[in-house]
Amino acid sequence: MDARVNYELGRAAAEAQVRVAESRIQRLSAARLAVALSAIALVVGVVWGHLPQAALWGVGALGTGFIALVIIHSRAFEAKGRAEAALRFHQRGLSRLDGTWRAFPGNGSAYASLEHPYTDDLDIFGPSSLFQLLDATETPFGRNALADALVSGSVRDPGPKAVAWAAALRSDQEAVRELAPKLAWREGLSVEGAVLRADAPDPTPFLTWAAGESPPSVPPFVLALAYALPLLALAVGLGASSLGLPRSTWLLVVVVELALGIRYRESTTATLETVSNAEGGFARYGGVFAAALREPLASDRLARPLGRLRSSGSQGGVVREMAELERIVGFVDARRNEVFRLFIGPVLMWDLHCAVRLERWRQRSGKHVSGWFSALGELEAFASLAGFAFDRPDHAWPEPKPHAELHARGLGHPLIDAARRVGNDVDLPREGTALVVTGSNMSGKSTLLRALGVNLVLAHAGAPVAATEFSFGSVVLATSMRIRDSLDEGVSHFYAELQKLKRVVDLAGKGAPVLFLLDEILHGTNSRERVIGARAVIRGLLSRGALGAVSTHDLGIADLSGALPETVKNVHFEEQVHDDGTMTFDYRLREGTVHSSNALRLMRAIGLDVPLDGAEASPLPDGPTA
């Protein structure tokens, strides 16, 4: 079955689960109302009617039943929430297939940076971006890991060993390949994360606390008193008279408890406030970790984060440790009740007991917390890439090469819907080679350069690419395509482009070879200086071992292939002009330099009065002078 069939089946199953849950919630609501009304009727019958006092036992039974129904009702809402999350998971998959993914709320705009070598030019983040298409994460850790993969070239692996580039790429691809058909595993991870997402807490306070040093522990004798004094207060309160003691003797015990509570209040309160309230939501991540560990995964790249989840902590891994933390936080949150906090808690020395248990948890597991959540982020990032691979079985898996090169067959832009996407062949056979792409307006020059860049980002991340074949060596991607001037900073359009070009040139010759993509190079100056400057920039990049592609309207730049026939190759796009004067584009890449231009024809098409034969246009009518 293909992706669409799987998503449609999953959506139908989730819709059925939502309907079942809603029906159950309605029945439970009616049952709660009936039980409450019955209890009220019994009380009225005993107080104002003629029912015997024994009927109050029925009120107690109904009260117990009501509490049970509240718990069952809450679980029914949880089941509905999970079913709705599963429904969203499958609907998102269908939206990706239908090309309506641009309406997804998360587009990664927070990760956008004008200073990055390529993300702004290639629409990696923001509306209609690669991140928006790929993102299937539900936690901030997953989103950070996915963004990092698209920015730095791979899903970050904090493992102790540095792995050769080609081996690391194949390992990432193996992980994505393994997860692609595991739809149930990816759905489970997404559902558990979605349940938390509505009130997901800020990770900073909890992670800081978990990684911090524990304060001096409570002395053993104080801890012993914390257990003994509440029992003593209860015993004295109940048996003072039989022991010949005043009934107020238990107050002396309570005073001692209060004194100990005040003595350790500063350290206990800081600990309790950190993990309570919103930060306590981290304790509920146990369900997400359990979903990640629910199914064995074989690839080595996935085994590493899973291993961190299984082996951390002394109680058998993250699931048990997070369950223990959730229990402790539940005890801590009992303090929210004012009566408990002011009267019952001090007598039981509740805060001290909770703080001690939290510090023991931190000593045992705190050093592992950062690793747990980074592992979760890696798994979510791989799940997002795997969803992309599952949706697009026609995409090619890139083949790593030992040297800097790039070969692609049927290369298209992955953000363009398949029905409109046109594939082309591109070859950059070695370091120091370049394509000069000429063509008329709207013919596909910029799209080709962006297709090269976006597919290279996908390839580095371990995902398949929009091509029938794709192989490449280890390169650093750098672009100068979308130029943004700044009135506030006094930066003109031309100077902004020079700054981007300088960044590309500075990267060349440092470390791995640069693959550059330059769109309409130096189009902010006159033709003579543009040709001189562009040819110098291209020569400089090639001399430093860079490789890449340059688009231009200026045929003087294309003449560079005559001076460097072994390193520079001309390719072009062109329009098709029909008998009725209309133009169409086939977006097919051809060898050589373009021999046509459509700027004047496009100007006339939108209503500007310009001649097509090159003659001077008629002068504008006279008007008032300034």
pLDDT band at 217 (very low <50, low <70, confident <90, very high): low
Q: Vertex 359, ends 353 and 364: CA angle to 5°?
A: 130
pLDDT of residue 114: 87
Output b/e per residue, 320-333; b: 16+ Cβ within 10 A.
Answer: ebbbbbbebbeebb
Q: Which of 193-197, 371-375, 517-521, 570-574 has the lowest mean pLDDT?
A: 193-197
Domain ranges of the chain: 1-99, 193-218+264-391, 399-605
**Torsion angles phi and psi, residue 230, rounded to 5:** -60, -40
Higher pLDDT, 561 or 280: 561
Residue 495 has pLDDT above 90, yes or no: no
3-state secondary structure 3-65: HHHHHHHHHHHHHHHHHHHHHHHHHHHHHHHHHHHHHHHHHHHHHCCCCCCCHHHHHHHHHHH
Tell me the pTM: 0.85
**Torsion angles phi and psi, residue 138, rounded to 5:** -125, -10
Which run of H or of E encompasses 568? Answer: strand 568-573
pLDDT band at 288 (very low <50, low <70, confident <90, very high): very high
Residue 135 has pLDDT above 90, yes or no: yes
User: Mean pLDDT, to the nearest integer, of 291-305?
Assistant: 92
DSSP 2: -
Report the relative pairing of strands 476-480 and 583-585 from DSSP bridges.
unpaired
Concatenated DSSP letters of 287-309: HHHHHHTSS----HHHHHHHHHH
> In which residue are the tokens 């509905």 written?
80
**Torsion angles phi and psi, residue 377, rounded to 5:** -60, -45
pLDDT of residue 186: 97
Q: Which of 216-230, 381-395, 569-583 has the lowest mean pLDDT?
A: 216-230
Cα separation, 548 vs 542, whole angstroms: 9
204 to 30, 141, 207, 353: CA distances (angstroms): 43, 12, 5, 25
59 burial type by CB count under 10 A (0-12 exposed, 13-18 middle, 19+ buried):
middle
pLDDT of residue 14: 96
Cα separation, 364 vs 386, whole angstroms: 34
* Helices first, then strands: H and E counts in the chain: 22, 12
Residue 93 has pLDDT above 80, yes or no: yes
**Torsion angles phi and psi, residue 438, rounded to 5:** -110, 165
Residue 340 has pLDDT above 90, yes or no: no
Nearest to 406 by CA among 479, 471, 475: 471
625 burial type by CB count under 10 A (0-12 exposed, 13-18 middle, 19+ buried):
exposed
Higher pLDDT, 343 or 545: 545
Q: What percent of the chain has pLDDT over 70?
A: 84
pLDDT of residue 353: 83
What tokens does 500 get? Answer: 């981007």
Higher pLDDT, 253 or 288: 288
Q: Which of 221-225, 352-356, 552-556 has the lowest mean pLDDT?
A: 221-225
Amino acid at the residue 268: T
pLDDT of residue 94: 96
Concatenated DSSP letters of 95-152: HHHHT-GGG-S---GGG--TTSSSTTTTT-SSTT-HHHHH----SHHHHHHHHHHHHH
pLDDT of residue 613: 57
**What is the overall mean pLDDT for the chain?**
84
pLDDT tens digits, 248-264: 666 777 787 778 777 77
pLDDT tens digits, 446-465: 999 999 999 999 999 999 99
What tokens does 241 get? Answer: 């008279």
Residue 247 has pLDDT above 70, yes or no: no
pLDDT of residue 323: 86
Residue 491 has pLDDT above 70, yes or no: no
pLDDT tens digits, 40-78: 888 888 778 777 877 778 888 888 898 899 889 989 998
Residue 312 has pLDDT above 70, yes or no: no
For residue 515, the SS3 value is: strand
> In which residue are the tokens 């029909």 written?
578
Nearest to 415 by CA among 466, 483, 468, 367: 466
pLDDT of residue 81: 92
Cα separation, 361 vs 356, whole angstroms: 9
Cα separation, 591 vs 436, whole angstroms: 10
CB neighbour list of residue 159: distance below 8 Å, 6 or more residues apart: 304
The strand pairing partners of 583, in sequence order, are: 577
Architecture of domain 399-605: 3-Layer(aba) Sandwich (3.40)
Higher pLDDT, 442 or 337: 442
Concatenated DSSP letters of 177-223: HHHTT-HHHHHHHHHHHHHHHTTPPPHHHHHHHHHSPPPPPPPHHHH
Higher pLDDT, 50 or 500: 500
Higher pLDDT, 42 or 111: 111
> In which residue are the tokens 């539940």 written?
330
pLDDT band at 328 (very low <50, low <70, confident <90, very high): confident
Cα separation, 482 vs 120, whole angstroms: 7
pLDDT tens digits, 12-36: 999 999 999 999 999 999 999 999 8
Which run of H or of E encompasses 363? Answer: helix 350-391
Cα separation, 457 vs 151, whole angstroms: 8
User: Mean pLDDT, to the nearest integer, of 525-553?
Assistant: 89
Angle between helices 350-391 and 183-197 (to 10 degrees): 140
> Contact 411/451 with Cβ under 8 angstroms?
yes
pLDDT band at 578 (very low <50, low <70, confident <90, very high): low
CA dihedral for 344, 346, 347, 352, sign (positive or negative): positive
For residue 407, the SS3 value is: strand
Report the relative pairing of strands 547-551 and 583-585 from DSSP bridges.
unpaired
